[in-house]
Structure 1
Amino acid sequence: MAKLTTTTISKRTVEALSVEKDTVFWDSELSGFGVRVYPTGSKFYVVQTRAGGKAGKRVTVGRHGIVTAEEARRRAALVIARIKAGEDPVPEPAALALAGGPTVGELARQWLEEHVEVRCKPRTVTMYTLIVEKHLLPAIGKISAPTLDHARVTELHHSLRGTPVMANQVVDTLSRIWNAAEDRGQLPEASNPCLHVVRNRERKRERFLGEEEFRRLGRTLAEAETCKGVSVHAVAAIRLLLLTGCRKNEILTLRWKDVDLEARELRLEDSKTGARTVPISPEVAEVLANIPRVEGNPHVIPGKLKGRHMRNLNDPWDLICERAKIANARLHDCRHSFASRALALGEGLPMIGKLLGHKQVETTARYAHLSRHSVRDSAVRVADSIAGDIIRDWQNGDRCSTAPP
């Protein structure tokens, strides 16, 4: 059993507390009363509830610096008294909306520091940081979080109606921040004001390259190798995307040490869904073998800066598509097209998921409607075969004149 960290909670002792990881210091005088200290410097007074002899939820009774240690102790004693009397320690959600509650900005920064920056990939960190700093902090950062209501979040969502997708992402990010705060006991359970905010409808883009488009791409990529405007490494990257179904970043960040031509596989250590191995065909092996290596650069697709990988593949792709007369196609559509061709060749959804590196079955299910087309085509072929026999027999007059035995 882990040893409890105790202290006499007072203004002086709390201000002196500093930690490297999230720690709760329990009061040596009032059992169940404590102060939760975060590496960011934030400190919140808490009460540990108990139910049936077991630890229950942890109730936040104030933030240090806004609520004094003495006031927090008084609130904690009230909560503990209600527990001993068999009453709800927090009878109303508003009871946790104490004047000293954390602001939305404080919760957002804490979430970025303790969750996003620790668990997420750099691109995701950048995205969430942008949303917090550009949209959440200016609009609602100074608002006391327990007082933020559904109407205010709806107003924020509506204010971003000019960018409907971003509006949804802002509310979704706020919802994640709120859930994390609930888990830490900083906010009441089931108090998320984002829950019933009606999101904007987002049109899902599904673009699959047809056979003729693939042929035009092939010709244009071959021509681009001898023409100015598109580098040989950009051409190789596009070919690898088309032939492997990999994500753009998986190819752009690929290092030569991750390529095993003898075993015919790519070992992706930092894929979106974790480390995975991608089997490669002879055609992919040939593309890799023909890529010029840049001395001192470990990347298969080198960028302009020394030792770095290529960052911008969108411009070369747009130029290739323009020359090939292919409209409204994104780089990510290479991945969709890989999946659709696999389905057309009879591969099942589980296998497609493995080829694409999907961690969740639900992700591959987006291609189910294509699978239904393949099943329908099979059903038509089988029915046609049987119909040919029974219709031919019927037309040839091979009919029974009596009822079957």
Structure 2
Amino acid sequence: MTARRITKRTVNALQSNGSEFTIWDDTVSGFGVRVRPTGAKSYVVVYRAGVGRGAPVRRYTIAAVGKITPERARARAKVVLGAVAHGHDPANQKTTERGAPTVAELADRFMADHVRTKRKAGTAEFYRDILDRIVKPAVGTTKADKLTRLQIGRLHSSLADTPFQANRVLAVIGSMYAFAGRAGVVPEGTNPARRIDRFTESHRERFLTGEELERLGGAIREAETTGIPWALDETKATAKHIPKLKRSTKIEPSAAAALRLLLFTGCRLREILHLRWEHVDFERGCLFLPDSKTGRKTVILNAPALAVLNSLERVGAYVVPGDSPEKPRHDLKRPWDAVTRRAGLTGVRLHDLRHTYASFGAASGLGLPIIGRLLGHAQVATTSRYAHLDNDPLRRASDAIAAHIFAALEGSQAASVLPLRQMR
């Protein structure tokens, strides 16, 4: 077909003849309008991807007729042909980009091929929640190789009210793109979450005092024996119909035992809830955990912990059984809420029992390496958060310095100064 100037009038006059055909522009070589048998029309540019007659012929679709004007399409054709002249292959590049997965598709592959096979169940669940609840709704439809730092920065900023969660989003995205780079989905080193300033996180370290522990112990004893009375609003109709004999909360002996074990051992919640009787060695006084957050772990059992374990009835494979004796208890939320409310410990978390165990050890001057081994810390830096509680060496140093200063003030020799009596 003879080439002609492609104008709006020319394009509008084109009609389908039952087979596909193309008319070419007489000013830009390779630029034309393709007409399909259905009557659909689109602007295209055809070129050879390489040098010589053996180079493959490519067809690059610019846009559908009606989406842009002929003049705009001609200008885009010139850009494409310019890229070809510099050795690029725009049509092949476009096909590759079309085949790139979206962020949502990459997230699913990341979970299936990497996280669920190489991460612990708790970590995998955490990753799944971050990706499904936060990342996918925000940027899931974006092509994985087109996701920008600006998009992730905006997502991170939108989570400013929850800084810990916002920072974990960056960590999960970074891990996902490291996987994508190794898998060849994106160029290695691609990470749109890189160089985004993290929010400052205030690490929460809540330690129970001796008086608070006394209240907690009393609440646990009450909950497992007589039950904790309910605080009912008698003005509500529903409250009036609750039988008075049932107006208290009792917790199961295994739940009370789990709370005490968390305090006496400093273990993590899942280490106690998933504890099997076969992991308990009464003779050597140890728990031999085959798996924990930091791998295999040995927990030294003290006398109170051994007493708690000996008081429990073996009704299944797990020390703290769930509804089925052969399955572990899922959580301790309800019993913990009941006893902390009764003890007046609002806002105290179960994990704070682990902090309390460590804080008592540090305050007793046991030394951070020993405490770290008892807790099963893989990193020394993790235990260092309790350093400020180890006051014995500081107290001795302060007493020695003050003794010399006191002697100088009194005009006597430092050697004759007696230690100050500690206030009771």
Aligned residues: 305
Q: Which has the larger radius of gyration?
A: 2
For 2:102, the equivalent position in structure 1 comes to: 103
For 1:206, the equivalent position in structure 2 comes to: 205
Higher mean C-alpha deviation, range 196-205 or range 323-332: 196-205
For 1:153, the equivalent position in structure 2 comes to: 152
1:123 Cα deviation from its structure 2 partner: 1.9
**1:4-41: CA deviations, max 9, x gaps?**
xxxxxxxxxxxxxxxxxxxxxxxxxxxxxxxxxxxxxx
For 1:340, the equivalent position in structure 2 comes to: 359
| 1:274 lines up with 2:295 in the alignment | yes
**1:139-177: CA deviations, max 9, x gaps?**
322322221111111222234445444333223211110
| Correspondent of 1:367 among 382, 386, 391 | 386
Change (3 A) 1:386 1:286: farther
8 Å CA contact 2:317–2:325 kept in 1: the answer is: no
SS in 2 for 1:266: strand
For 1:256, the equivalent position in structure 2 comes to: 277
For 1:25, the equivalent position in structure 2 comes to: none
Change (3 A) 1:162 1:215: closer
SS in 2 for 1:193: coil
Write the letter of the residue equivalent to 2:398: V
Q: How does 1:183-262 map to 2 (within 5 A)?
A: 183-228=182-227, 229-262=250-283
Give the distance between the partners of 1:318 and 1:260, measured in 2 at CA: 31
8 Å CA contact 1:343–1:374 kept in 2: the answer is: no
**1:159-213: CA deviations, max 9, x gaps?**
4445444333223211110122223343234331111223333332110111111
TM-score of the pair, normalised by structure 2: 0.65
Change (3 A) 1:385 1:262: farther
Change (3 A) 1:239 1:144: same
1:386 Cα deviation from its structure 2 partner: 6.0
For 1:307, the equivalent position in structure 2 comes to: 326
SS in 1 for 2:412: helix
Change (3 A) 1:293 1:134: same
Write the letter of the residue equivalent to 1:375: P
For 1:129, the equivalent position in structure 2 comes to: 128
TM-score of the pair, normalised by structure 1: 0.68
For 1:112, the equivalent position in structure 2 comes to: 111
1:253 Cα deviation from its structure 2 partner: 0.7
Change (3 A) 1:261 1:386: farther
1:392 Cα deviation from its structure 2 partner: 7.4
Unaligned runs of at least 5 residues, structure 1: 1-68, 72-93, 399-405
Unaligned runs of at least 5 residues, structure 2: 1-55, 59-92, 228-249, 417-424
Give the distance between the partners of 1:247 and 1:140, measured in 2 at CA: 34
SS in 2 for 1:363: helix
Give the distance between the partners of 1:70 and 1:179, measured in 2 at CA: 36
8 Å CA contact 2:288–2:298 kept in 1: the answer is: yes
| Correspondent of 1:317 among 320, 326, 336 | 336
1:391 Cα deviation from its structure 2 partner: 7.1
8 Å CA contact 2:262–2:269 kept in 1: the answer is: yes
| 1:376 lines up with 2:397 in the alignment | no
Change (3 A) 1:378 1:217: farther
**1:222-264: CA deviations, max 9, x gaps?**
3333123222111111111111111011011111111111111
